[in-house]
Amino acid sequence: MNGSTFVHQGCVYSSDDDFLRMAVPFIDEGLRREEPVLVTTTPVNLSLVQTALGRHARNVDYAESAFFGRRPPQRVAAFTGYRHRHPGAARVRIIAEPVWAGRSARQVEAWECMDSALNAVLAGTGIHMVCPYDARTLEPEIVGNALRTHPHMVDGTEVAASPGYTEPVAFVRGRAAPLAARPDDAVTVAFTGDLGRMRHTVVLETVLLGLAGERLMIFAAAVGELLTGVPGAGGRRPSVALWGRPGEVVCDVDLPATASLDPFIGLHPPLLDPRPGDGIWLARQICDHLDVRSGPGGTTIRLHTPTLRDTEAGAGA
């Protein structure tokens, strides 16, 4: 196995013993190889692992899944951040169990697409990741899609190719339903090239829609980044459409792109040198949900961000 290869495995378990049959050997092998090991899972599973490892438990890093990247873009950033904290290690190991309980259908779709996208986004990182799925609590469809998003599945220490694995681009585009039509009262503004004027317009309109505070200014900055930092603009002018929905502000950024955007654009954290997609990365960090749809006429990026009332109440976490 090449040390820089990204290894992405799923594990469907139906009991505590099933989970430990995968987790303990995976961790032990990493410790023997002097590889950094991170376990991010439920509090119950963290306790099981720590008890099973005994005195070796102190050599492992731990995080509760609910707080290790609350949304898919933050989760990707957390994975890459852990890798970057160990630059001298040829490989790092991560057990990464997402939180599925309480997710809406749209959120489940976003998490599944992220899981598939990892195969492309983390290529060459030297991360060996196992994603556990608890068959006792999860919907059968979520468990079934684990076979489509992971090239290999683990049962204890046995590894087998997943018969249902789907290449990431095909999986993500297959899940991408058409965007719902904009409401008649959406406010549409053409971008003339004056970024300051566009930011002022976004601020004024979103204040009327219920957005306020620091999030308001960050949202306006993110919209501006999308207008100026995404590649492929053609001869027509980009435009922005804004409208409100209960508990959120929705914004479409229409780009007259000459080519379809990479469906994973903006999942890579920015580097010192600017590159296409940095603006989408920023937008992904601050918005509850972001959709990218490309077609012959260009690309639409739809952003959803909660209003202040829902932010204060903890919505979107």
The CA-based dihedral angle spanning residues 9, 104, 136, 80, taken in that order and rounded to the nearest 10 degrees: 30
What percentage of residues in the chain have a pLDDT greater than 70? 89
CATH 3.30.565.10 intervals, the chain: 187-306
Structure tokens at 169: 């681009």
- Encode 58-84: b = buried (16+ Cβ within 10 Å), e = exposed: eebebbebeebbebbbebbbbbbebbe
Residue 281 has a pLDDT of 78
Distance CA 91, CA 83 (A): 8
Distance CA 10, CA 44 (A): 19
- Encode 231-254: b = buried (16+ Cβ within 10 Å), e = exposed: eebeeeebbbbbbbeebbbbbbbb
Distance CA 110, CA 108 (A): 5
Pairing of strands 248-255, 239-245: antiparallel
CATH 3.40.50.300 intervals, the chain: 7-175
Q: Confidence class of residue 161 from pLDDT cuts 50, 70 and 90?
A: very high
Domain 187-306 bears CATH identifier 3.30.565.10: yes
- Of the listed ranges 21-35, 164-178, 299-313, the least confidently predicted one is 299-313
- 107-124 residue pLDDT tens: 899 899 999 999 999 999
- 268-303 residue pLDDT tens: 776 666 666 677 777 787 788 888 887 777 888 899
| 108: nearest Cα among 155, 64, 144, 57 | 144
Structure tokens at 82: 């852990």
Q: Confidence class of residue 312 from pLDDT cuts 50, 70 and 90?
A: very low
Domain 7-175 bears CATH identifier 3.40.50.300: yes
- The pTM (predicted TM-score) of the whole model is 0.82
Give me the residue label for tokens 């899981």.
115
